[in-house]
Each structure stands twice: as C-alpha cells, then as structure tokens.
Amino acid sequence: MHMKFDEMLKTATDILESQPRPISVLSNAAAFLMDMLDDINWVGFYLYDGQKLVVGPFQGHVACSSIAIGKGVCGEAARDLETKVVLDVLAYDNHIACDANSRSEVVVPLSKAGKLFGVLDCDSPTLARFDQDTIHFLEAFGALITKIIDFSAPLV
C-alpha cells in the first residue's frame, strides 16, 4: 500500500478506536474519508438489516435509503462478499444512480467469517478514479471498521 495510505490508516485507527459508540465510528469514518481522499463526491456505509442494505452514516448528497441484495454495485458487493470496482457507472447496467455526478465507484463489503454486516461505498465524479492503491486502502479501512465494531450489538 502507498505510504500516504499507511499513514492515513494509522491516523484513522487512532481516531476511530476512541469513539464511544459504533454509530460514532461510522459517522467519523465517513467524515475522515471525505476529508482525506481527493476527488470523491460520496462516501459512507450501507448496513445489512438481515434482508436489505439500509443507508447509514455518510458524507455527500442525499442517498438511496435502501438497496436490495444483488441490486446496484452495493448490492452486488454484499451478495458476493467481494470488493466491486466500476470504472464508468454510466456504462454499468446494474448501477443505481443516487448522485447524477458520480462516474466511478468502489464498494467494499463489511463482513466477518462470511457474515455480512454492510458495505463501504465510495463514489467519484471522475471516470476510473480508483486505482489499486486506493482500492487496497479502502479494503484495509473496511477491515479496520469490522475490527473496531461489534456488529452483533446495537449500533447506538
């Protein structure tokens, strides 16, 4: 991973491990990513309620309130439990357009031992914005979130 991203991950760990509640972790995690990553227009979390993904803490314009598993990039990442990267969302048939300015997207599933808890979604107004270093950073960031939060307990 790029040195800048290593430093960002350490800073995020220091900030997020001290949060008093899971909802605080997610809220400040979204704000941290919005502040630290260049050229993004939406970043946040969709949480799995046992049937669908429901919007959680985020930074950006108003978002879709719920997403069916398998629908859109978030629903695909949740279904497959693997990171999804879309270089051009306008050319992607299963994309759900919440923000018309978004042109590329990366979604990282949040899971432990094969159990889905949600996804980390990051959008950019630039085509092919997400390089391998950024994708690896977001995956490490997602792993940090699942390490810090006990998703079996209430979030607030």
**CATH number of the domain within which 103 lies:** 3.30.450.40
Specify if 156 maps to a domain: no
Confidence of residue 151 (pLDDT cuts 50, 70, 90): confident
If you average pLDDT over residues 84-92, what whole number do you get?
A: 90
Domain extent, residue 112, equals 3-8+25-148
Instruction: Report d(CA 11, CA 34) in Å as an integer.
Output: 14
State yes or no: pLDDT of 86 exceeds 80. Answer: yes
| pTM metric for this prediction | 0.94
Sorted by sequence, the CB contacts under 8 Å of residue 100 that are 6+ apart come out as none
Q: What's the structural domain count of the chain? A: 1
Per the prediction, the chain carries an average pLDDT of 92
